[in-house]
Amino acid sequence: MSMVGRRYDMPFAQPVWIFFLAALVGHSQAQEVNRSPDTAAVEQHTSAARAHAGTNWTAAVDFLCSVEPDIGGRDQSPMIEPTQLFDNLYVIGRSGTVVYAITTSEGIILIDSGYEGQTESVLMPGLAELGLDPADIEYVVIAHGHRDHFGGARYLQDLYGARIVLAAEDWDLMEQAGTGGGDSLPPPTRDLEAVEGIPITLGDTSVTLAAVPGHTPGSIGLIFPVRDGGASHTAGLFGGTILLSSRISDEGLRQYLRSLAYFAEVAGREGVDVEIQNHPIFDSMLEKLAKLKARDTGAPHPFVVGEADYQGFLNVISECTQVELARRGST
For residue 156, give the CATH number of its domain. Answer: 3.60.15.10
Answer whether residue 201 is part of any domain: yes
Q: Which of 65-79, 105-119, 153-167, 181-195 has the lowest mean pLDDT?
A: 65-79
Mean pLDDT, to the nearest integer, of 197-222?
96
Q: Identify the weakest region by mean pLDDT among 24-33, 209-218, 241-250, 275-284.
A: 24-33
Does 100 map to a domain?
A: yes
Region 168-177: mean pLDDT is 89
Residues in the chain: 331
Condensed to tens digits (0 to 9), the pLDDT of residues 91-109 reads 999 988 999 999 999 999 9
What are the pLDDT digits (tens) for 39-71?
899 999 999 999 999 999 999 999 999 987 766
Task: Using the predicted structure, report yes or no on whether residue 18 has a pLDDT greater than 80.
Answer: no
| Residue 180, in any domain of the structure | yes
Lowest mean pLDDT, pick from 70-74, 151-155, 219-223: 70-74
Taking the C-alpha atoms of 49, 52, 57 and 61 in order, what is their torsion angle to the nearest 10 degrees? 0
Please indicate, yes or no, if residue 4 is contained in any of the structural domains: no
Residue 1 pLDDT level (bands cut at 50, 70, 90): very low
Q: Which residue has the higher pLDDT, 77 or 129?
A: 129
Determine how many CB atoms are found less than 10 A away from the CB of residue 151. Answer: 24
Domain assignment present for 307: yes
- Give the relative orientation of helices 14-25 and 250-270 as an angle to the nearest 10 degrees: 130
Grouping H, G, I as helix, E, B as strand and the rest as coil, residue 70 is coil
Rounded (5°) CA angle 93-106-126: 20
What pLDDT, on a 0 to 100 scale, did the predictor assign at position 26? 35
What domain range is 49 assigned to? 14-26+34-327
Please check the confidence at residue 156 and state whether its pLDDT lies above 50. yes
Strand pairing partners for 304?
Answer: 274
Closest to 268 measured CA to CA, from 227, 231, 315, 228 = 315
Higher-scoring residue by pLDDT: 5, 61 = 61
Number of domains in the chain: 1
Q: Is residue 253 situated within a structural domain?
A: yes
Predicted local distance difference test score (pLDDT) of residue 76 = 66
What is the DSSP code (8-state) at residue 128? H
Residue 8 lies in a domain: no
Query: What does the alpha-carbon distance between residue 302 and residue 299 come to, in Å, rounded to a whole number?
Result: 9
Q: What is the pLDDT of residue 242?
A: 86
Rounded to a whole number of angstroms, the distance between the first and last alpha carbons of the chain is 40
124 part of a folded domain: yes
For 255-274, the DSSP string reads HHHHHHHHHHHHHHHHT--E
Tell me the pLDDT band of 215, cut-offs 50, 70 and 90: very high
Mean pLDDT of the chain: 87
